[in-house]
Amino acid sequence: MSIPDIHPDRRGYRPGATSDHALLLDAGTVAEALVERARREPAAVAFYLPDEPEPDRRITVADLLARAHAAGAALVAAGVTPGARVCLCLETSAPLLAGLFGAALAGAVPSVLEPPLTAGRREIWLERVRHIVAVARPAVLVCEEPLRATVEAALEGTDVTVISPPFAPGAVAEPVLSAPPDEAAFMQFTSGTTGAAKGIVLSHRAVFASAAAIGAGGPFLADDVMVSWLPLHHDMGMIGGTLSPFLLSLPSVLIRPMAFGSKPDRWLRLIHEYRGTLSPAPNFAYRLVTAVARRTDLSGLDLSCWRTAFNGAEVVDAATLHDFIDLTARYGFRPEHLRPCYGMAEVGLAATFSPAGTAPRVELLSRSAITEGRAEPSASDEDAHPYVSCGVPVPGIKIRVVDDTGLDVGDGRVGRILVAAESMMTGYIENPEAGPVLDLRDGWLDTGDLGFQLGGELFVTGRHKDLVILAGRNYQPQSFELAAEKVAGVRPGGAAAVGVPDPASGTERLVMVVETVHHRDPGLSAATADEVGAVVARRTGVRPARVVMVPPRTLPKTSSGKLQRSRVAARVAAGTIG
């Protein structure tokens, strides 16, 4: 497979810059790509791991191949055979990369699981591991040695073998370098915003098609450097930050998510230090790093190298874009390098990218018209709301917006977003006794997202299941949540808006659940709740029926930081919150 043609007039494109990339994309498997790249450029750096001890900070392609052989041999010795599944429950590290590529050499199907973040949440983590093991039926699970006995006890009664790094030097006797293109290559578990995580199976064809689409849509150039703190159990971290750069012969600088969480400005400093040109993140990360950077001394920081800053994985907020651009302009970052995008694990990662070389497109539209399914200019400032374009489909992707009957709604009308892709998943694994299940409408996947198109560009408004329906009008919860976060004492990312059925009125009522640093002061907490209600009403035209103040870290979120509104709504209805 080769990268589709890139228009030579695109900003930053140099003829021939991606010609070497196509050679690796012609490989049939990740294992074949690893061996071929090691043959062509053994001394090239594949991964920088700046937070790891030596000699793990700088991993060349030849070193990666040797480490992968050692891990692959350990997996085979533990019972892995071609086609078997392997769960890698490790932090971003050299052993995780070795295990990932080692599983590929062994012909296995790897899946990266979230490691436990804190000892206090270990039981919750073990329950998730048990669920995933029951669904995936892996032959081997790899975890750190201190966790091994705990994991073995939790998985007692299963056929899973648990092993731990370090992997002794060795080699896979018969590496599996070729496979049918539709055979499973990788398994990713969804973040589970609306329920239990489901396993997504990606074929070799899908993985390579996704990397090709990302490389062409960027476009990724021969001298690019990826910088990522994103977890490898998330599609943006695995496909976007790790596998695609490797398959495009680019180096990646990887740190652990907790390193970003504890010191967000570290992200910007790494881009400066390694002259990173590519770095993706969800919208919340741009909002968080902007807030932290405003009160941090960043003198000497140079972000002029950062050519592509993808913003995706959740609804993109116009105010976040504005504030981030305003902050980073003094450090050399240019507005046209911030690229809102849209994607999902079901298509590998990327579905749309905003065009290169242009600043993010933001349309001021009528909030009330959107609730009725129309994207129209607002007649007043009070009714205006900014909506951000996520751009146009990347090569190999098609997008439709349809109504509930499956008919196209046309330009400027809100509907369900459908996607068709060369990189489409093989299907979901939910029943361990059955194969992957793929439910398509004539080749189209219903993403569960809502949005509209204007002039060929996609605008995403939110999740269908997250809609708050008030007297027949459909409201996206993000508008209420962003308004609440403007109030002093409300934690960034700490507001949830949900609709709770009200039998008396026959419709839903809006309930806000808000995390506050004032939770120990009843008087101050009540005053904050009153202000949240007033600000939400002023900014959205809808006053919450109830505002519930809760301590920090109460709201349930996925492992990648996405708010689980359905769980919040269930807890409000059950009376276990507030």
Give the end of a domain, one of 274, 297, 320: 297
Which positions ≥6 away from 434 have C-beta within 8 Å? none
Would you place residue 314 in the very low, low, confident or very high pLDDT band (cuts 50, 70, 90)? confident
Highest mean pLDDT among 52-56, 130-134, 239-243: 239-243
- Top-ranked range on mean pLDDT: pick from 211-220, 268-277, 305-314: 268-277
pLDDT confidence of residue 472? 64
Instruction: Give residue 432's pLDDT.
Output: 66
Share of the chain above pLDDT 70, in %: 92
The pLDDT tens digits for 92-133 are: 999 999 999 999 999 999 999 988 866 667 887 898 899 899
Average the pLDDT over 152-176 and give the result: 95
460, part of any domain: no
| Range of the structural domain that residue 99 is part of | 19-182+221-297
Instruction: Quote the pLDDT of residue 15.
Output: 28
**Residue 184: per-residue pLDDT:** 96
Judge whether 510 lies within some domain: yes
Say if 10 falls within a structural domain. Answer: no
pLDDT of residue 569: 86
What local confidence, expressed as pLDDT, does residue 17 receive? 37
Task: List phi, psi (to 5°) of 365.
Answer: -125, 165
Residue 388 resides in a domain: no
SS3 366: strand
pLDDT of residue 125: 86
Query: For residue 8, what pLDDT is reported?
Result: 28
**Per-residue pLDDT at 28 exceeds 80:** yes
Q: Of the candidates 258, 282, 297, which is a domain's last residue?
A: 297
Average pLDDT over residues 214-221: 93
pLDDT digits (tens, 9 = 90+) for 480-513: 999 999 999 998 889 999 988 776 666 689 999 9
Per the domain annotation, does 264 fall within a domain?
yes
Instruction: Check whether 75 has a pLDDT greater than 60.
Output: yes
**For residue 424, what are the CA distances in angstroms to 102, 111, 313, 390, 539?**
25, 17, 17, 20, 39
Cα–Cα distances in Å, from 351 out to 10, 281, 341, 419, 503? 19, 15, 8, 8, 40
Does the residue 170 lie in any domain?
Answer: yes
Q: 84 vs 384, which has greater pLDDT?
A: 84
Mean pLDDT for the chain overall: 89
CATH number of the domain where residue 121 is located: 3.40.50.12780
Which CATH number is 530's domain given? 3.30.300.30
Smallest CA-to-CA distance from 539 within 489, 492, 479 is with: 479
Tally of domains in the chain? 2
The pLDDT of residue 120: 63
- pLDDT for residue 1 is more than 60: no
pLDDT at position 468 is 85
- Is residue 348 included in any domain, yes or no? no
More confident site: 75 or 578: 75
Instruction: Examine the fold and report which residue of 257, 274, 297 is the final residue of a domain before the chain moves on.
Output: 297
Does residue 375 lie within any of the structural domains?
no
* Residue with token string 């004492």: 489
d(CA 457, CA 389): 6
pLDDT for 473 equals 75
Tell me the three state secondary structure of residue 324: helix
